[in-house]
Amino acid sequence: MTSILTNVAANSALQTLSTINNSLEETQGRVSSGYKVSEASDNVAYWSISTTMNSDNMALNAAADSLGVGAAKVDTAYAAMESAIDVVNEIKSKLVTATETSTDKVQIQLEIGKLQQQLTSIAKGASFSGENWMVSNGQTEGSVVDGFVRSTATTGAESVAVTTATYDIAGNALFSDEDATSGGILGTTGGVMSIELTDTTSQSDIAAFMTAVETALDGMTTAGGSLGALSTRIDLQTEYAGKLSDAIDEGVSRLVDADMEEESAKLSALQTQQQLAIQSLSIANSSSQNLMTLFQ
């Protein structure tokens, strides 16, 4: 039955065209944005995961940038410690020379005095971004940001934290005050700075000075090792942070990025379907006009 009030074919063709247009609009949006999940309404679960992981990735990248600052602090401290060890070794050689009874100990002391001044200069100059790990000056430890972590507690609640690596300034400082006039808290250079040769300095005194130098060298070597280990950790963490950031990017990409080959094929198919639907609607609308021939 043909009705002039209700065109069933036209209604069906119109619904089909509307559905195709909606799909075409969605596909065009994916092609233009590159995302298959660009907002929560597209896929709540994937959108929520990607939003959280993108936020964490930004924090991780910020922590990686902080690692660069930390590496500079460690490198500065290590360079100072290495230079200080060279100076103390030079002082040690001067003391060995002073054990010869015919040497002028006063002249040797002039050289040792200059080397002691060099030690203070090294320590006071080992500052980066306002921090000096060679002079404790009340500091107990130095810290370097090395990561950002998200964990789930036993209660099911999530927590986030910035992790740090630490260095024992109190135990490894060359000097304990900012004027670099007193030795480290654990005597890293305390005995070295007290060395003073005179014409009356005995062999036993020189032997005691040598012991102080060896004690200082042991402490400085330990401190240098701690700095070297911290530097290695920073390098490893920097490499890991880069890999982790890439892995997060790839994981989020799998969740929300559009497959451009698939979307391109779908777009072409939908455009063809749209043209056919328009043609079908045109045919359905023209069918009612054919009724006019019945009244002629």
pLDDT band at 266 (very low <50, low <70, confident <90, very high): confident
Question: What mean pLDDT comes out for the span 11-30?
Answer: 78
Instruction: Give the pLDDT of residue 186.
Output: 43
Instruction: Give the pLDDT of residue 145.
Output: 80
List, for residues 204-247, the tens digit of each pLDDT value: 999 999 999 998 899 899 999 999 999 888 888 888 888 888 88
Instruction: Give the pLDDT of residue 290.
Output: 67
pLDDT band at 197 (very low <50, low <70, confident <90, very high): very high
195: nearest Cα among 91, 90, 60: 91
Q: State yes or no: pLDDT of 261 exceeds 70.
A: yes
pLDDT band at 274 (very low <50, low <70, confident <90, very high): confident
Instruction: Give the pLDDT of residue 114.
Output: 93
> How many angstroms separate the CA atoms of 77 and 267, rounded?
60
Helix, strand, coil share of the chain (percent; to 5) = 70, 10, 20
- Express as a percent the part of the chain with pLDDT over 90: 21
Between the ranges 25-34, 133-142, 268-277, where is the mean pLDDT highest? 133-142
Question: In this structure, what token pair is assigned to residue 164?
Answer: 């740090």
List, for residues 129-162, the tens digit of each pLDDT value: 888 999 888 888 888 887 777 665 555 556 667 7
Between the ranges 10-19, 61-70, 105-114, 167-176, where is the mean pLDDT highest? 105-114
**How many Å separate Cα 198 from the centre of its chain?**
54
Question: What mean pLDDT comes out for the span 86-92?
Answer: 94
Instruction: Give the pLDDT of residue 157.
Output: 55
Strands 158-168, 141-152: parallel, antiparallel or unpaired by DSSP?
antiparallel
- Express as a percent the part of the chain with pLDDT over 70: 85
Q: What does the mean pLDDT of the chain come to?
A: 81
Instruction: Give the pLDDT of residue 61.
Output: 81
Q: State yes or no: pLDDT of 179 exceeds 70.
A: no
pLDDT band at 14 (very low <50, low <70, confident <90, very high): confident
What own/partner pairs with CB < 8 Å and gap ≥ 24 does 105-113 have? 105/197, 105/198, 105/199, 105/201, 106/197, 106/198, 106/199, 108/197, 109/196, 109/197, 109/198, 112/195, 112/196, 112/197
Question: What mean pLDDT comes out for the span 20-46?
Answer: 78
pTM of the model: 0.71
